């Protein structure tokens, strides 16, 4: 996957763009079974991209579950379901299902089922010692949340496509780093095996893609570059880089043309728009050069609500949902 994207990325030629466009056309084929993890700094539109991938895959006939990790946020909101209880799966817009996995609940469930605490579990979980253990190793919760995702994706066999909105980027990377960190910390035993299994799934390019979302601005693009590099350093299954809210690149001659705009306020606003566009182009070029991939641009779209916007994004995100 990575090798293909990287080859495709060499040179941002018109032909390459056309090829990519062709991949994106809705062709009615069923998406392949895949776990999509969507990450990125807060506020870049991660939830929008996650919801759009879920809707695209569902539209092609896949049975899709969108999962939020951490706190209930955008994806559930966009897909129009009332916030579900942690761990429960509810039906949402466009034939998708949504769930919210909370680390603490996932850990409690894990201990009940896997460590076979059974009926005594409730008393154990209320015991201060449990709190101390979980408090001393907070990463366990993140690990178990990823474990729940793995359960749904691998073990249940109910879903063709699972899309994970991995939360704000600091936390998202922690979620993704946790399996490797935990398998090093817990040298043996079940937790170690659990962490190993999670890490294996997140590294398996045939089953999993970790997408990074950014905005077309200098700092978010640098962050995205850094995130992708970190994912690669952890040998995780890096997917696409989406740049959300892009404006069309300006053709030559805009600055000269703006000389003819007589209203100073209009000219000033347009010069600012042009400056932001230049920042976008420079930033994307730098990211593409450093990571050796082609970023996938998502335009600014004005729609009545976020759900319509996500549906309208199919031509831009549909390629990864195939």
Partner 1 sequence: MNLPAALDRYRLLVCVGTGGVGKTTVSAALALQAAMRGRRALVLAIDPVRALARALGLADLGANERVPEAILAAAGLAPRGVLGAAMLDQKRAWDSFVLRHAPSASVAEALFANPFYQRLSTSFAGSTEYMAIEETCRYAESGEYDLIVLDTPPAAHALDFVHAPERIDRLLDRSVYQSIISGAWRGAGITARFLLRRLEHATGSSTLRDISAFFAALDALIDGALERTRRARALLRGGDSAFVLVTAPRQLVIEETRELQAKLAAQPTPLAAVIINRTHDVPDVDASSLDTLGSDPAARWIRHAWADAVAEATDEREVLARFAALLPSGTPLGEIPEADHDLHSLRDLALVAEGLGR
Site for partner 1 in 41-100 (CB under 8 A): 41-44, 47-48, 70-71, 73-74, 77-78
How far the first Cα of the chain sits from its last, in Å, is: 13
Q: Is the Cβ of residue 110 or residue 159 nearer to partner 1 in the bound state? A: 110
Residues 247-266 that bind partner 1 (CB under 8 A): 247-248, 250-254, 256-258, 260-263, 265-266
Closest contact distance (angstroms) between CB of 14 and partner 1 is 15
Residues 5-34 that bind partner 1 (CB under 8 A): none
Residues 37/21/10/1 CA torsion (nearest 10 deg): 40
Other C-beta atoms within 10 Å of 201: how many? Answer: 21
Binding residue for partner 1, selected from 28, 29, 157, 188, defined by CB under 8 A: 188
Q: Residues of 305-319 as b/e, b for ≥16 C-beta within 10 angstroms?
A: ebbebbbebbebbbb
Closest contact distance (angstroms) between CB of 65 and partner 1 is 20
Closest contact distance (angstroms) between CB of 32 and partner 1 is 30
Residues 216-235 that bind partner 1 (CB under 8 A): 217-220, 222-223
User: Exposure of 94 by Cβ count < 10 A (0-12 exposed, 13-18 middle, 19+ buried)?
Assistant: middle
Residues 137-156 that bind partner 1 (CB under 8 A): 137-139, 141-142
- State yes or no: residue 282 binds partner 1 (CB under 8 A): no
Query: Residue 269 CA to chain centroid, in angstroms?
Result: 33
Closest contact distance (angstroms) between CB of 187 and partner 1 is 5
User: Exposure of 195 by Cβ count < 10 A (0-12 exposed, 13-18 middle, 19+ buried)?
Assistant: buried
Other C-beta atoms within 10 Å of 112: how many? Answer: 17
Task: Tell me the number of residues near partner 1 by CB under 8 A.
Answer: 89
- State yes or no: residue 269 binds partner 1 (CB under 8 A): yes
Please answer whether residues 106 and 148 qualify as being in contact, where contact means their C-beta atoms are separated by less than 8 angstroms.
yes
Residues 154-183 that bind partner 1 (CB under 8 A): 167-171, 174-175, 177-178, 181
Q: How far is CA 182 from CA 143, 175, 197, 201, in A?
A: 8, 11, 11, 15
- State yes or no: residue 311 binds partner 1 (CB under 8 A): no
Q: Is the Cβ of residue 238 or residue 244 nearer to partner 1 in the bound state? A: 244
């Amino acid at each position: 996957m990575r090798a293909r994207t990287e080859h495709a990325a060499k040179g941002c030629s018109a032909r390459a763009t056309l090829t990519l466009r062709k991949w994106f056309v809705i062709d009615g084929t069923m998406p392949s079974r895949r776990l999509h993890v969507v990450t990125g700094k807060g506020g870049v539109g991660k939830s929008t991209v996650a919801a759009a991938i879920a809707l695209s895959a569902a539209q092609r006939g896949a049975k899709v579950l969108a999962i939020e990790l951490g706190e209930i946020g955008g994806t559930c909101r966009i897909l129009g379901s009332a916030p579900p209880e942690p761990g429960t799966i509810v039906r949402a817009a466009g034939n998708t299902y949504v769930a919210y996995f909370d680390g603490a609940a996932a850990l409690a469930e894990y201990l009940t089922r896997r460590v076979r605490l059974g009926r005594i579990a409730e008393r154990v979980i209320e015991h201060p010692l449990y709190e101390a253990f979980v408090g001393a190793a907070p990463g366990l919760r993140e690990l178990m949340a990823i474990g729940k995702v793995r359960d749904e994706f691998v073990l249940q066999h109910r879903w063709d496509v699972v899309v994970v909105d991995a939360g704000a980027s600091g936390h998202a990377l922690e979620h993704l780093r946790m399996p490797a960190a935990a398998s090093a910390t817990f040298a043996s035993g079940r937790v170690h095996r659990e962490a190993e299994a999670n890490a294996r799934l997140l590294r398996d390019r045939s089953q999993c893609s970790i997408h990074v979302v950014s905005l077309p601005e200098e700092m978010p693009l640098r962050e995205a570059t850094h995130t992708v590099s970190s994912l690669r350093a952890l040998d995780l299954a890096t997917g696409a880089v989406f740049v959300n809210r892009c404006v069309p690149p300006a053709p030559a001659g805009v600055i000269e043309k703006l000389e003819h705009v007589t209203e100073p306020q209009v000219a000033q606003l347009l010069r600012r728009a042009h400056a932001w566009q230049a920042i976008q182009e420079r930033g994307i070029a730098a990211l593409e050069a450093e990571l050796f991939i082609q970023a996938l641009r998502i335009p600014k779209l004005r729609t009545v609500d976020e759900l319509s916007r996500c549906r309208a994004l199919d031509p831009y995100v549909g390629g990864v949902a195939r």
